[in-house]
Amino acid sequence: MAEKLLVIDNISKRFGGLQATNEVSFDVNKGEILGIIGPNGAGKSTLFNLITGFYPIDSGSITYRGSRIDGLTPDKICKLGITRTFQVARPFGGLTVADNILVACLPKADKVSAARARVEEVLKIVSLDKKAGVLGADLTTLERKRLELGKALATNPEILLLDEVMTGLKPKEMDDMMELIRELKKTKTIVIVEHVMRVIMNVSDRIIVLDHGHKIAEGLPKEIAENPTVIEAYLGRGAKNA
């Protein structure tokens, strides 16, 4: 039995009249890649916001390595070892690419010089070493995506939460990104939210499916692809007869 790193137990979140997350439970095991899929508005990004403390949960509990992390602020959760990326990349526009990475290295570094020493290495991982001196605001969409991932990696997390890192990438770029994610899996546990089925089916060890805030399925990629409830959620009723 794999070691359970993160245990999500029965969490719910309501925004006014919208139940964004409804009694969702799942575990994240050490060393796996867990895919989260679901139609638009299923509550995938909300789930990330709840795990990383950006929104408080209404009920339930989130346990990381045996201690509760719900109620902690995002910076504390990051320092414990869980880092997320944002669906729309958020570079620090007024800082250079190198400084963006440096800022991300700093919170866990004893000295500024120690953080600075790591910047080059992280930049190489995300192929931005040639852009080190460019301002974050001047990057292309693809470069922003890479920087977003680079910043998350710079915090040296145990669990990496990736929110739609493939959006806007060309097929070849996606292959490269998948390669990178598989590489990262050797040292990290990854939870990935993704719309692109080819990617999620390929890289995930397990998949959970959300729809309207509910978890409707959980299983191996192959099982999920054939699950009638999932097909219905994506394609609507009647799809199975088509």
Partner 1 sequence: MKQKQSLMVMGILTLVLLAVYFLPLITFVKHILVLTLFYAFLGTGWNLMCGYAGRLSLGHAAFVAVGAYTSLLLFREFNLTPWIGMLAGGVFAVLVMLLIAYPSFRFGLKGPYFTLASIAVAEIVHNLLVYGRDITGGSLGMSLPYVPTSLAMFQFDGKEPYYLVILAFWLAAVFLTLKMERTRYYLEAIREDQDAAAALGISVNNNLIIAACISAFLVAIGGTFYVQYFRYIDPYSIAGFTLSLNMALVVVIGGSGTIFGPTIGAFILIPLTEVLRMTLGSQLPGLHLFLYGVLLVACIIFLPKGIASLPAIIKARQVKKTARVTQGSEGVL
Contacting positions for partner 1 (CB under 8 A): 52, 54, 73-76, 78-79, 83-84, 86, 90-95, 99, 102-104, 106-108, 112, 126-127, 130-131, 133-136, 138, 142, 146, 151-152, 154-155, 170, 172-173, 176-177, 180
* DSSP result, 163-179: E-SSTT--HHHHHHHHH
Least distance (Å) between residue 167 CB and partner 1 = 14
Helices 141-154 and 112-125 pack at an angle, to 10 degrees, of 130
- Residue 18 C-beta: closest distance to partner 1, Å: 21
User: Is 183 or 226 the residue whose CB approaches partner 1 more closely?
Assistant: 183
Q: Which of residues 68 and 76 has its CB atom nearest to partner 1 in the complex?
A: 76
48 contacts: CB under 8 Å, gap ≥ 6: 84, 161, 163, 191, 193
Closer residue to partner 1, CB minimum distance, 37 or 166: 166
Q: How far is the CB of 219 from partner 1 (least distance, A)?
A: 29
The smaller minimum CB distance to partner 1, of residues 172 and 240, is found at 172
Instruction: Tell me whether residue 135 or residue 216 sits nearer to partner 1 (CB atom).
Output: 135
Closest separation in Å from C-beta 81 to partner 1: 10
Q: How far is the CB of 79 from partner 1 (least distance, A)?
A: 5
CB of residue 47 vs partner 1: minimum separation in angstroms? Answer: 15
Q: Check: CB of residue 174 under 8 Å from CB of residue 199.
A: yes
C-alpha distances (whole Å) from 149 to each of 35, 54, 89, 177, 242 are 17, 19, 9, 10, 40
What are 114's two structure tokens?
């120690």
Residue by residue, DSSP assigns 16-30 as TTEEEEEEEEEEEET
Nearest to 52 by CA among 30, 75, 33: 75
Query: Toward partner 1, which CB reaches closer, 161 or 233?
Result: 161
